[in-house]
Amino acid sequence: MDLEDSFRKLLIRSLRVLIGIYLAWLRLPNKLFGFCLSYENSKPNIIMISKRIKQLLLGSMILIGLAAPLTSIARAETRVSLEYMDNTATSLGCRDADYRPKYYTTAHQALELESELSANSNYRLIDEIIDEVRRRARLSSYYSKEEATSVFQTIDNVLINFLHRSTVLLSDSLEPHKLDKELVESIRNKEISGEKDREGQFSVTSRQKAHVLAHPDEDFYLTDCDALSLIYYGVGEVLDFPIRLVGAPGHTFVRWHFSDGNYLNWETTCGETQTNEFYEKRFNISDISIRKGVFLSSLNKNEVLNYTYSNRGQVWSSKGDYDRAIDDYTRAIELYPKSIYSYFNRGNAWLRKGNPDEAIANYTKAIELHSNFQKAYYHSGHAWFKKGNFDEAIANYTKAIELDPKSSSAYYYRGIAWSGKGEFDRAILDHNKAVELDPKFQQASFYRRHS
């Protein structure tokens, strides 16, 4: 029997005693009390005292009557609270069930949001990264450009085992991998470019290549720019570095803000400083998109979290759960209304649900924010085609081709749209071009032979 049960039983016994006294009191005539309490004729005073005692007894019974069930409520609330703490610890998904995260950065929050989709919520690894950066970096209240660069280099050195490769969730990026001999040999023979190739294979820097070849048996992590930038951002939150996350089309990097209003861009995938002009050229960013603040603007915490919701939406969509995907894309847009990929991906989800009108509305919004968004034009062509509007489909495929003349699939689908209009000569030309760009495009060959 615990202390709470004993206390509750004591209250119940006290309540019974008081009830008994009260009932006995009601049976005693006031005269008897008057005789017992005074030799004088003071009946009115005795009656008043009697009433007061009755009121006190009644009030005590009410208080004790309330106290007894309240102890049960308190005990139930305590039990719920403990259960909540246990469930929270379980939902965090720590590798060690007894491990509690030391910090709660935006990166930790992202892992928490992903916990329903991934069992690999490696909070411990993020904590260890933060602690190692704290140990190695020079902490100060003021940083020069050189000192800020040194801090970035320190974080990059701590993340030496993080190889750049396309992933979706942060939790996937924190999953350790052993590199097989074939992969190590591939890295040994790989030309160092600092950029990911078209097949999605990971890129390595010269330092990472040397580290892999020197320590091939270590654990390595395959990660992308979003995950790396989020880790940098989390480190900055704890160690008070003025690091912000910055978005470009299909890419993120980080930026150090100085007190005088200047800043320093850091490309997390290759560990180098870069200028805004580098990103404008590499990702074909229009001036109007920059002026609107769609790209190359430093993001706040809520705007950073939009990436997590958008990435989570991609996973739900890949599982065929388009409703949950749309919910996540919508939440991402609420956090960051300029999130073009959330509009784009929400459009894809609507199209897969068989609603081309909603899809077109989302693609159009994405194009308004980023006029050079090739994929949005391409998928908008699909939506118009599904509605049977071949002219609009052709117009969107044509714009997609203008933005990416090597898009064999855009030529292929524009050819199908030409066939839908009965213009087979144009369809054959587009199909021929598709095969020229990609000889493996067998579907295009088939339509070319049958147009």
Specify the CATH class of 300-372 in words.
Answer: mainly alpha
Give the model's pLDDT for residue 22.
55
Work out the average pLDDT over 60-71. Answer: 51
Distance CA 143, CA 236 (A): 13
Token readout for 227 is: 């995950």
Q: Helix, strand or coil for residue 93?
A: coil
Tell the CATH superfamily of the 375-451 domain: Tetratricopeptide repeat domain (1.25.40.10)
Give the model's pLDDT for residue 300.
96
| Closest listed residue to residue 224, CA positions, set 187, 278, 268, 188 | 268
Burial annotation 427-440 (CB, 10 A radius, 16+ → b, else e): bbbbbebbbebbee
In Å, how far are 415, 417, 425 from 421, measured between CA atoms?
Answer: 10, 7, 11
Q: Whole-model pTM?
A: 0.74
Taking the CA of residue 166 as centre, how many other CA atoms within 13 Å lie in the half-sphere pointing to its CB? 9
| pLDDT digit string, tens, across residues 346-400 | 999 999 999 999 999 999 999 999 999 999 999 999 999 999 999 999 999 999 9
Query: What is the length of the chain?
Result: 451
Work out the average pLDDT over 113-120. Answer: 86
Give the model's pLDDT for residue 204.
81
| pLDDT digit string, tens, across residues 295-329 | 999 999 999 999 999 999 999 999 999 999 999 99
Distance CA 384, CA 394 (A): 9
Q: Write the DSSP assignment of 347-405 as a string of letters.
A: HHHHHHTT-HHHHHHHHHHHHHH-TT-HHHHHHHHHHHHHTT-HHHHHHHHHHHHHH-T
Higher pLDDT, residue 7 or 392: 392
Residue 442 has pLDDT above 60, yes or no: yes
Same fold for the pair 300-372 and 375-451: yes
Work out the average pLDDT over 72-76. Answer: 40
Work out the average pLDDT over 185-204. Answer: 60
Residue 56 has pLDDT above 70, yes or no: no
Taking the domains of the chain in order of start, what are their residue ranges? 3-92, 106-291, 300-372, 375-451
